[in-house]
Amino acid sequence: MHHLLLVGLGNPGDKYKFNRHNIGFIVLDEFAKMKNLSWKESKKFAETSHSGEGYKLHIVKPLEYMNLSGKAVQNFCQSFKIPASQVLVVQDEIDLPFGKLKNKIGGGTAGHNGLKDIVEKIGSDFHRLRFGVGRPEKGGIEVIDFVLQNFNSEEKAALPSLVKESIGKIEDWISVSVTALNQQKG
């Protein structure tokens, strides 16, 4: 049985629920709903899992603040012997315009505190699904305040189709990962 880890980044608590910084939680909540999965919560993370032929997908939302996201990721990687190459993190990305989705493997963190903590705990060779949230206009509010704001009404209207597109990218990643793991085995 192969183990994969899908992680969504966000901050716990209702006041952060629809922040740009919480797109990882938003996408994973919708993914779980689509698969009829329910979350089990501990103090440190919310988890659920989905099994397919020959694999088990662990789905995790770290429930400590963003800058402590790596603890839950490290915990699952160690418990199930999951290498970083079998981890996908769904994150907000200020260096992409709103609505642009991009897959990436490894690389830097561009100041993203959730990614920084994960890199410190498991290295940087994990997959990322970068969900573009744009950045504030020059001379406007600070980036940290911008990502902690809720999506505006125009963005909110576009979210359902973008979340659906994100889920498609997650399913593609699962499929490619499982195929690669099965080939390594053979």
DSSP per-residue string spanning 16-64? GTTBGGGHHHHHHHHHHHHTT---EE-SSEEEEEEEETTEEEEEEEE-S
Among the listed residues 3, 21, 112, 127, the single catalytic one is: 21
In angstroms, the CA 69 to CA 158 distance is 27
CATH number, domain 2-184 = 3.40.50.1470
Find the helix packing angle between 113-122 and 70-79, rounded to 10°. Answer: 30
Q: Is the pLDDT of residue 52 over 70?
A: yes
Q: Binding site: which residues? A: 16, 65, 67, 113
Q: Is residue 186 very low, low, confident or very high in pLDDT (cuts 50, 70, 90)?
A: low
The dihedral built from the CA positions of residue 19, 21, 27 and 29, taken in this order, carries a sign that is: negative
Q: What is the pLDDT of residues 127-149, one digit of tens each?
A: 999 999 999 888 889 988 999 99
- Catalytic, 50? Answer no
Q: Is residue 151 very low, low, confident or very high in pLDDT (cuts 50, 70, 90)?
A: very high
Average pLDDT over residues 42-62: 94
In this prediction, residue 140 carries a pLDDT of 84
Q: Is residue 183 very low, low, confident or very high in pLDDT (cuts 50, 70, 90)?
A: confident
Q: Is residue 178 very low, low, confident or very high in pLDDT (cuts 50, 70, 90)?
A: very high
Q: Is residue 28 very low, low, confident or very high in pLDDT (cuts 50, 70, 90)?
A: very high
Q: What is the pLDDT of residues 107-127, one digit of tens each?
A: 999 889 999 999 999 999 999
In this prediction, residue 25 carries a pLDDT of 98
Q: Binding site for tRNA: which residues? A: 16, 65, 67, 113
In this prediction, residue 139 carries a pLDDT of 82
Contact predicate 170/31, CB 8 Å: yes
| Helix runs in the chain, H state only | 23-34, 70-79, 113-122, 143-147, 153-185
